[in-house]
Structure 1
Amino acid sequence: MSSKVPRILVTGASGLLGRAVIKIFKQKNFDVIGLAFSRAGPGLVKCDLTDHEAVTTLIERERPDFIIHAAAERFPDMVESRYEETCLLNIRTAGHIAAVAYRIGSRIIHISTDYVFDGKSPPYKADAVCNPLSKYGSTKLESEKAVLAVAPNACILRIPVLYGPVERLGESAVTCLLDVLKSKKPQSVSHHDQRCPAHVDDIANILADMVALIMKGANLSGIYQWSGREKMTKYDMILAMSRVFSLPHQHISPSHAASPIRPYDPEMDVSGLTDLGIAHHTKFEDGIKECLARWI
């Protein structure tokens, strides 16, 4: 590709990750177009991604150099109850966007998840056998296949549970734990499932680095992975928040019960990115203090 400023189309631009991508990419002076639907605010283009005709028209009009496809139904419990709608958004729409992108010469980076793994034998290489335990994980695995089937030069970026500046605490499975910590009600929190949380700014910077390398002529395609560098249970995260904000946690007890739909330890091997010189990690206590201070 040329040295011109890349034109980037970001789906899910009103979401937790999408907002960070828009912010970081604009800081790097990329030409950014953000798409959203139910929360399309100022500066974003409203588009129903499941309206494939409208999506085709928009992509052909804007002709982006890259599409960062971050839009998805990502809450596992929601997927279980709204499976058909999720398949339309997570699988068929991803495949459609990838096909249009490939046809007009755009490069797509599709966001996936560590939930494609069962968590029994970490750390997982990018080519490790996938065995999702949940319908969410299954839809994201099928979305990877749908994208790569129609866009052989596509990149998949698998990421872990995310946190960052939220519009509401329930927007992230990490930040929602602050409500638990602040309540006085005795509760139990999982101290079983392992997680490798990542700050959304880290993921956005990784995506920006991938775009920059491709713009310089690097041959990036296929599956890449990023896990945060600290392994924690939800109970560990509660304890970290307790330390950072000096909040009592005695009303919270650790639960060692396993979840049938969440992998025990889905840590992913990140060498595909680090071998390219790409690595960004915010220390959890620093990141969580920054993004939750306004909620204290």
Structure 2
Amino acid sequence: MKLIVTGATGLVGHSIVEAALRRKFEVIAIGGSREIRWPEGVTSASLDLSDPEACDRFLLDEFPDVIINAAAASSQTTVDADPEKAEKLNVALPRRLAQLANHLNARLIHFSTDMVFDGTAAPYRSTDTPSPINLYGQLKLMAEREVLKYGGDFATVLRIAIVTGNSPSGRRSVHERLFADWSEGKKTRLYEDEIRQPVSAANVAELIIELCQRPNLHGIFHWAGSEKLSRYEMGRRIAEHFQLPTDLVEAAQSEGNRQADLSMELQPLMGKVRTTPASFEEQLKSMSVPRWCRAWYASIRGLPPEEIETVRLIKGRDF
């Protein structure tokens, strides 16, 4: 099976490439500006995803079985900083990929987000009416509609929750951002009244590989972890897992226009696949200390220099 993965240097995209390689799939990885030395079995491609003609030529030449779109302006901050660029990546690109997938008789699996909901009526079912409260959620909802309109039975939209794991840069995921604060001597204020359902990138990747082989599963589905946690609970458990002082995390109350509870109902998809949602404890066990702050971590833990390498680390993410 031949897969094209956009956003392949990101947290989720990178995990999908790894999972696809384990299944011996042929993988074409399209990433951003970050250079990764991919192993045998992966073809790295440089492509301007904002250029429709370039995308057309590339996909028509490659003729993939499945297109997995993990490319996006993936935060509200990024979207607000450049709405025009975000619209091209978050709406125009998935629309064009859906059109191409339909033309090629290829599957398209597109990622959306729990942030298409307003957080007032959780847990959300895949059939519930979205009501995003910020531009990021609005663009992702627009993309969902475009993908299903143009992709038809070839398209699957997967709404996922906040993602945990070890990113290629060591700076993208939940625990890595916490380490960034802590290693700079900052305490992190996290909301007690914002509920999320964290999911690991590795678990999402296993599900995606299964969906690649299940063409009958198309439409909109939800996927997340098995536990609902506040942001504060997540941060505290991460500190405890790494045997760090729990006072590095401070409880706070949210202010302004924020989504209180974005937990999702995982049926009917959970009843149709072999992949099972991961608990937060399982996610914690897979988290690594980012390489760039391992010396700080060893010092705060009181580990002698010769034991630094015994700490579970991200090893450069060059595979």
The answer for the alignment partner of 1:139 in structure 2 is 139
Q: Quick check: 16-25 or 248-257, which moved more?
A: 248-257
Q: Quick check: 2:236–2:249 contact (8 Å CA) kept in 1?
A: no
The answer for the alignment partner of 1:88 in structure 2 is 88
Q: Describe how 1:1-296 pairs up with structure 2 within 5 A.
A: 6-43=1-38, 44-153=44-153, 154-182=155-183, 184-214=185-215, 219-260=216-257, 262-294=258-290, 295=294, 296=297
TM-score (norm 1): 0.91
Q: Quick check: 1:163–1:172 contact (8 Å CA) kept in 2?
A: yes
Indicate the SS of the match to 1:157.
Answer: strand
Structure 1's 105 and 237: CA in aligned 2 closer, same or farther, altered over 3 A? same
Structure 1's 180 and 41: CA in aligned 2 closer, same or farther, altered over 3 A? closer
The answer for the alignment partner of 2:301 in structure 1 is none
Structure 1's 40 and 187: CA in aligned 2 closer, same or farther, altered over 3 A? closer
Structure 1's 55 and 40: CA in aligned 2 closer, same or farther, altered over 3 A? farther
Q: Quick check: 277-286 or 137-146, which moved more?
A: 277-286
1:134-178, CA deviations, whole angstroms, 9 ceiling, x for partnerless residues?
A: 111111000011111111111100100111112345312443123
- CA distance in 1 between counterparts of 2:68 and 2:172 reads 20
Indicate the SS of the match to 1:10.
Answer: strand
- CA distance in 2 between counterparts of 1:265 and 1:188 reads 18
- CA distance in 2 between counterparts of 1:202 and 1:259 reads 33
- CA distance in 1 between counterparts of 2:196 and 2:35 reads 31
Aligned residues: 286
Q: Quick check: 1:24–1:205 contact (8 Å CA) kept in 2?
A: yes
- CA distance in 2 between counterparts of 1:282 and 1:130 reads 25
1:253-282, CA deviations, whole angstroms, 9 ceiling, x for partnerless residues?
A: 21012352x421111111121121343333
The answer for the alignment partner of 2:313 in structure 1 is none
Structure 1's 67 and 183: CA in aligned 2 closer, same or farther, altered over 3 A? same
Alpha-carbon distance, 1:200 to partner? 0.3
1:89-129, CA deviations, whole angstroms, 9 ceiling, x for partnerless residues?
A: 10011101110111111110111000000111111111101
Q: Quick check: 198-207 or 78-87, which moved more?
A: 78-87
- CA distance in 1 between counterparts of 2:18 and 2:64 reads 18
Indicate the SS of the match to 1:292.
Answer: coil
Root-mean-square deviation over aligned CA pairs: 1.8
Alpha-carbon distance, 1:182 to partner? 4.7
Structure 1 unpaired stretches of 5+ = 1-5
Percent identity between the two aligned chains = 29
TM-score (norm 2): 0.84
1:63 maps to amino acid: F
Alpha-carbon distance, 1:289 to partner? 4.0
Q: Quick check: 1:169–1:179 contact (8 Å CA) kept in 2?
A: no
Q: Quick check: 1:36–1:48 contact (8 Å CA) kept in 2?
A: no
- Deviant stretches of 4+, over 6 Å: none
Q: Quick check: 1:193–1:258 contact (8 Å CA) kept in 2?
A: no
Q: Quick check: 51-60 or 205-214, which moved more?
A: 205-214
- CA distance in 2 between counterparts of 1:8 and 1:21 reads 10
Structure 1's 275 and 251: CA in aligned 2 closer, same or farther, altered over 3 A? closer
2:173 maps to amino acid: S
1:55-99, CA deviations, whole angstroms, 9 ceiling, x for partnerless residues?
A: 101100110011011100011111112111100110011101110
Q: Quick check: 186-195 or 238-247, which moved more?
A: 186-195
Structure 1's 168 and 8: CA in aligned 2 closer, same or farther, altered over 3 A? closer
The answer for the alignment partner of 1:3 in structure 2 is none
Q: Quick check: 1:181–1:247 contact (8 Å CA) kept in 2?
A: no
2:212 maps to amino acid: V
1:214-238, CA deviations, whole angstroms, 9 ceiling, x for partnerless residues?
A: 2xxxx22110110211111221112
Q: Quick check: 1:181–1:238 contact (8 Å CA) kept in 2?
A: no
Q: Quick check: 2:240–2:246 contact (8 Å CA) kept in 1?
A: no
Structure 2 unpaired stretches of 5+ = 39-43, 298-319
1:287 maps to amino acid: Q
Indicate the SS of the match to 2:237.
Answer: helix
1:158 maps to amino acid: R
Alpha-carbon distance, 1:187 to partner? 4.6
